[in-house]
Every structure is written in C-alpha cells, then in structure tokens.
Amino acid sequence: MLGLPKGQVFLVPWSNEWQKEYLLEKDQIQEVVGQYILAVHHIGSTAVKHLSAKPIIDIAIEINEFQDGEKCITPLETLGYSYKGTNVLPDRHYFNKGEPRTHQIHMYQSGNKYLLEHLAFRDYLRYNETARIQYEQLKQDLSTVNKSNKHKYADDKTNFVKSILDNIKK
C-alpha cells in the first residue's frame, strides 16, 4: 500500500515494494532533472527494511547549487509533484506528489547538514536492530496518539532521532 491521505497519520508494515517504487520514481526524476542532480537517496522509514512506516516514499536529492532547485520545479510538476517551497526548512526545497500523498522530495545542496543527518539516521537504523525496534515501537505509539496530527507525531520523534545522531557523532 502506498499513499497517506492529508491530515492522517498511520503506519503500515514494511514492504519490499517500497524499494521498487523508489527505483521507478528515481528513474523518472533523473529523466526530467538529471542535469541538476548529484545523487538521489531513498530516505525515511520506507528505506529501512522491516521498519513500519507511513506509506510515503521519501526521496532526498542532492544538487550542486541550492538555487538549482528552482529550475527543477516545472519539470517535476510534469511528474505530478507540487512544489511546497522552502518554508519549513530554508535550506530545503520540498515537493510532494499525490492525494493521498505517495512521494515526497527533499532537495538539498550537497553537504547540507540536514541531508547528512537523514542519511546517517537511515544507515544507523539499517544496521542497528535494537535501535530500529525501539524506533518502530515509538512510532507505533505516537501514530496511535496522533492519528490526525502529523506535526505532533513528527515533533514527538525528535528526541529519539537526536539521541541516535548524538551517538553517531561520538
């Protein structure tokens, strides 16, 4: 299953279809904006085997210059993406696709702190089963409590994510 209706928070069990969906989307993205892309990454919980997730494929795109993100708006719109701007994080161009939402693009200049944190957190969960299980339990609990408040759901995960990132830096 892929797609999260607006205003809802729920998790579904991990699926190997998510990697296939990511690869298909990556190919389409590279076809329309490949000249600006340095790398494309599958991030978020759908990128971690055996981790339940909101059914949305999160994609991080590394670009050479931040302003190149603006050149990607029209081509990505041809794939069904809506540009949501840089409001939440000033160093990130954000796009989403579909209703219910199926894909999100987080576009950063190469070397961006938030991009590096996304990748480090994903990799840590991929290789640390205990942390993955703890994170999944936290997400299950929070999704039950915050079924219609995605911002509170995300905010309430912050301390866990920060503790993992702090461990990585040690």
pLDDT digits (tens, 9 = 90+) for 59-87: 999 999 999 999 999 999 999 999 999 98
Any idea of the CA torsion for 6, 9, 15, 21, to the nearest 10 degrees? 20
Domain boundaries, the chain: 17-169
Q: What's the pLDDT at 81?
A: 98
- Of 66, 75, 64, 83, which Cα lies nearest the Cα of 32? 75
Architecture of the 17-169 domain: 2-Layer Sandwich (3.30)
Helix (H) or strand (E) holding 151: helix 150-169
* 1 or 163: which leads in pLDDT: 163
| Confidence class for position 1, pLDDT limits 50, 70, 90 | confident
- Of 54, 121, 66, 116, which Cα lies nearest the Cα of 94? 66
| Confidence class for position 24, pLDDT limits 50, 70, 90 | very high
Mean pLDDT (the chain, rounded): 95
